[in-house]
Structure 1
Amino acid sequence: MPAIVKRCVARRDARLHATVVGERQLFQRDTGGARLPLRGGSALAWFGGRLALVQDDADAVALVEPRDGRVTTVPVPRTADDPPRFDFEACVRFGSAAGPDTLLLLSSGSRKPPWRLAQLADPLRPRVAVRAADGLYAMLRAAGDFTGGVLNIEGALARGRGLRLFNRGGRGGFNASVDLPRQAFLPQSPGAGVMPGAARVTRYDLGMLDGIALGFTDVAAAPAGGTLFVAAAEDSAGATVDGAVAGSVAGIIRRGHARWIEIRDAAGALHGQKIEGLCLDPADPGRGWAVTDADDAGVPARLCRLEFHGPW
């Protein structure tokens, strides 16, 4: 795949502040009413008046009331042809004038085929539809200028008439973004699974936190332009292997430059959790939500309230 490749070296900016000012554990109810931990939080996006929480290791999307953490789950249907694990790691608004609140759920692509996309539609009567995306992911896995040989999609942004995907770097892979046309994600489209003639790729050197390389875990559009991101320092042997986490950072990409700062708690200590989802408050651009993933089915994800201060 021919690509136009740019490079960006991120730097720590001590003027920035990203603080967890509150957090709550998230739980769900099973069909019998038992209270179970909500696990595997991997991405956040607004869906109606609730937060859609995408899970990488569960066949459901959680709709979370941000005020009290109340959870409603929407099942992700599966067939015998589907993979054992959908591994949804990113979501992005993918609506139209007829259905503006449709969200597209993207697999990381880090596991073996088959690969799937899903759409969450209708906040009043939420439902998920799953479809095959083998052509799209085969194309992405072959795009070495973007992945560095290891595909692991962790974030997505709507941009113009297409989407910008963010790959999480790791052992052998790149932290990078690539711009794709909307048609690449549409079923039965002539452009589905087809890489444009010269894809726009940006590779990022995010640096390290406590000696461990940082990797993208989610992105969100910044109100003043640019891209907000969260990245985790996880000592992992590969895209499908969990490891020890030193902490997470929040950062901003704008006009070809990237800056970040460690995420801390209200007392000033490093917030040591792996933050995998990010969503801004539409009523207050200085605040947002994040979700953690403990990589343990018995440990509930945490919904964190974030505050941003400084020259974001």
Structure 2
Amino acid sequence: MIHAQHDPALVVHLVRQLPLRYTAGADHAFDRPAHVRAGSGLAWVGERLAVVQDDANFIALVDPTTGLADCVVLPAGADGVRQFDTGRGNKKQKFDLEALVSIDEPDGPMLLAIGSGSSKKRERVLTVRRAGEADETLALIAAPGLYEALQEATDFSGSDMNLEGAVLIGDVLRLFGRGNGEATKHRVPLDATCDVHWPSVRAYLAQPEHVAPPKPTRLQQYALGEANGIRLSFTDATVAWGDRSDRPLILYTAAAEGSPDSRRDGEVAGSAIGVLDPRGDATVMRYALLRDPHGALLPLKVEGIACGRADSRQVYVVLDLDDPDAPSLLCELRLDGPWPQPNAPA
């Protein structure tokens, strides 16, 4: 178990926040609202930030200077709908895409979005090539074999698996599991990571009925601290500012949410930005809680993170308000204090 330490010297400043809205407005033919209604993962595609949504079948391609977004339309659910919530009575049908990572391919970046695995309907993986281009292609792949392998690794999955983040380190896809599920007689919820061999995952996704998925390795558990007495749990992660080493610096987000299990929302006490630094003899894990200018905890749910491009102090996060009628917010943050700096790119 690696224990994260709250470090009061680490400071997170909110520079600005932008509501996320589609440039073209609403499109009722595709069951798309005028705004980006959720934000569960964040990754760069060219000069834009891709935002994956756990309860709407769209990926938003966001201009980080304006908050305006173009749209990648994902396959519809039952009855042709692409929005899922309690009010519609169809929340259990959502794809629940939670983790998003951009992978360099010979023909450009490929977006890989990964379902949470918190139910059978959420055991899917999405790939999008050339997102936003005229020759954009996407595939939504049922991946029960991969999720079965992850579930069987109980020191990763815990009592109630809920994948929330992913990073690519060389040929390794590192998955981040959120421990906000229910405890059972035999298992407790875990915040944990595991590694899977990315070329083997790619081969499995190309032929899931004929190729065996890789087994997870390097299982690691974490205690992430708390906010207002509620335990923090992973919501996303990213490799810091192009760190190309085999032991890169990783930034992560975590939320303290009083949810009864991995499928239901709860009251949010606060969120944290943290750093995993494995570069010494032992991994160092520190975090800062998001506070207002008066020092009070901000009751915000940070769900996605991407490093900025201005310098190694700029970070973008996306806030999920858990309100289908309100746009998610893209926030530009500045990290001050003794945050560790990444290795130089290779």
Q: Secondary structure at the match of 1:146?
A: helix
Match of 1:38 in 2: 36
Match of 2:260 in 1: 237
In the TM superposition, what is the alpha-carbon distance from 1:78 to its structure 2 partner? 4.2
Match of 2:213 in 1: 193
In the TM superposition, what is the alpha-carbon distance from 1:95 to its structure 2 partner? 3.1
Residues 98-136 of structure 1 show CA distances to partners (whole Å, capped at 9, x for unaligned) of 133111000011122462111121143344321121111
Q: Say yes or no: does 1:287 pair with 2:314.
A: yes
Match of 1:215 in 2: 233
Match of 1:140 in 2: 150
In the TM superposition, what is the alpha-carbon distance from 1:142 to its structure 2 partner? 2.0
Aligned residue among 59, 62, 72 for 2:60: 62
| TM-score using structure 1 length | 0.90
Match of 2:170 in 1: 160
Q: Relative to 1, partners in 2 of residues 1:90 and 1:63: Cα closer, same or farther, differing over 3 Å?
A: same
Preserved CA contact (<8 Å) 1:74 1:128 = no
Aligned residue among 113, 133, 145 for 1:105: 113
Residues 270-308 of structure 1 show CA distances to partners (whole Å, capped at 9, x for unaligned) of 332101010111231101111111112112101111110
Choose between structure 1 and 2: higher strand proportion.
1
Q: Relative to 1, partners in 2 of residues 1:185 and 1:108: Cα closer, same or farther, differing over 3 Å?
A: farther
Match of 1:204 in 2: 222
In the TM superposition, what is the alpha-carbon distance from 1:32 to its structure 2 partner? 6.0
**Of the two structures, which has the highest relative contact order with CA contacts closer than 8 Å and spacing of 6 or more?**
1
Q: Say yes or no: does 1:131 pair with 2:124.
A: no
Q: Secondary structure at the match of 1:236?
A: coil
- Percent of aligned pairs sharing the same letter: 37
Preserved CA contact (<8 Å) 1:184 1:195 = no
In the TM superposition, what is the alpha-carbon distance from 1:193 to its structure 2 partner? 2.1
Partners of 2:33 and 2:319 lie apart in 1 by 19
Match of 1:87 in 2: 96
Structure 1 window deviating more from structure 2 (160-169 vs 281-290): it is 281-290
Mapping 1:19-30, distance limit 5 Å: 19-28=13-22, 29-30=25-26
Q: Which runs of 5+ in 2 are unaligned?
A: 81-91, 184-188, 340-346
Preserved CA contact (<8 Å) 1:22 1:305 = yes
Q: Say yes or no: does 1:73 pair with 2:93.
A: no
In the TM superposition, what is the alpha-carbon distance from 1:239 to its structure 2 partner? 0.3
Partners of 1:230 and 1:38 lie apart in 2 by 20
Residues 230-283 of structure 1 show CA distances to partners (whole Å, capped at 9, x for unaligned) of 100001100001000011000001121210011234564433210101011123
Aligned length: 303
- Letter paired with 1:31: D
Structure 1 window deviating more from structure 2 (199-208 vs 258-267): it is 258-267
In the TM superposition, what is the alpha-carbon distance from 1:35 to its structure 2 partner? 6.5
Match of 1:122 in 2: 130
Q: Secondary structure at the match of 1:193?
A: coil
- Letter paired with 1:251: G
Preserved CA contact (<8 Å) 1:216 1:230 = yes
- Letter paired with 1:52: A
Residues 169-215 of structure 1 show CA distances to partners (whole Å, capped at 9, x for unaligned) of 1233100000110112432277642315xx21110001111100101
Q: Which runs of 5+ in 1 are unaligned?
A: 1-6
Q: Secondary structure at the match of 2:109?
A: coil
Choose between structure 1 and 2: higher helix proportion.
2
Q: Relative to 1, partners in 2 of residues 1:35 and 1:60: Cα closer, same or farther, differing over 3 Å?
A: closer
Match of 1:3 in 2: none
In the TM superposition, what is the alpha-carbon distance from 1:38 to its structure 2 partner? 1.6
Partners of 2:51 and 2:59 lie apart in 1 by 6
Match of 1:17 in 2: 11
Preserved CA contact (<8 Å) 2:111 2:129 = yes
Partners of 2:304 and 2:148 lie apart in 1 by 25
Partners of 1:191 and 1:309 lie apart in 2 by 47
Preserved CA contact (<8 Å) 1:286 1:309 = yes
Q: Relative to 1, partners in 2 of residues 1:267 and 1:191: Cα closer, same or farther, differing over 3 Å?
A: farther
Q: Secondary structure at the match of 1:37?
A: coil
